[in-house]
Amino acid sequence: MLDFLKQQKPKDVKQIRSYILDFIKDQLKKAEGGEGANIRGMQLYVTCNGVDKYLYESALFVNEPARFKEQEVQKIADDFDINLPHDWTLEILFDENPPAETIKANNIDVALFISTQTRKAIHKEKVAVIKVLHGEAEKELYQINSKDDRINIGREHKVNTADGFYRENTIAFPDSSNNKSNKSISRQHAHIEWDEDVSAFLLYADEGGVPPSNKIKVKSKNGEEKRLLTTEIGHHLLNGDQIILGESALLEFNYAE
């Protein structure tokens, strides 16, 4: 009787979350004994139909991107002494046809792929939208693609850098604008790049976007703020992130559905 019950798919949020965590736990336990340090990230594919999607969204706290990763999955790793690296990532994707490389759960509509130093994350073409909320850019809406080259952000479209080289800003704030927000944006303020290893867009500050020149701050949907203080470390962009450039120019980042 117990085995029969285990084969039944859960139908409420708490059960779904419990089943998913048990599935992830079973896969992570294979990394006990120090192997966890080799893990770069996890891609959790949700394969449910549209009717059940809202249940899975609630179970995975999709409106609080860090919660499931940091409060649920990280706890499993800690309980089993699986030393995940500090920068490991968790990507949740809704896809009824997950890649063949994933491990599919038997009793829950999810599949999992664990990327390591030698086993790269599965890359599907990703599209994101950047909306200009404050300040005056050449366009109000920008669509970026994971296949794009580096996406530069700054004042003016075509500029000469301090070291004499040429730079083209994809997201450009014209110097001729009367909008005061444009004046505190550097010609080399920031850029966005697709990171194949973590399967995500990363935001980097450029020379003009770090102290003592200007600034970049990111505010997540849960209210957490982060200031970029170096050009070397990128910020993993998540849905709803708001990016402040200079004093008040404001961008909003979201992945396209």
Instruction: Indicate the fold that domain 127-255 takes in CATH.
Output: Tumour Suppressor Smad4 (2.60.200)
- Can you give the residue ranges of every domain in the chain? 2-116, 127-255
Please give the model's pTM, rounded to 2 decimal places.
Answer: 0.61
pLDDT tens sequence for the chain (257 residues) = 444 444 567 779 999 999 999 999 999 988 765 567 788 899 999 999 888 999 999 999 998 878 999 999 999 999 988 888 888 989 899 999 999 999 999 989 999 999 888 888 877 788 999 999 999 999 999 999 998 989 999 999 998 877 778 999 999 999 999 999 999 999 999 999 998 877 789 999 998 888 887 789 999 988 889 999 999 999 999 999 999 999 899 999 999 87
Do β-strands 110-116 and 89-94 pair in parallel, antiparallel, or remain unpaired?
unpaired
Q: Are 117 and 40 in contact (CB under 8 A)?
A: yes
Q: Which amino acid is at 173?
A: F
Are the C-beta atoms of residues 152 and 167 closer than 8 Å to each other?
Answer: yes
Burial class from Cβ neighbours inside 10 Å (0-12, 13-18, 19+) for residue 96 reads: exposed
Residues 204 and 210: their CA atoms lie apart, in Å, by 10
Q: Are 232 and 196 in contact (CB under 8 A)?
A: no
What is the rounded distance in angstroms from the CA atom of residue 125 to the CA atom of residue 129? Answer: 14
Q: Among 3.30.40, 3.30.1330, 1.20.1740, 1.10.8, name the CATH number for the domain at 2-116.
A: 3.30.1330
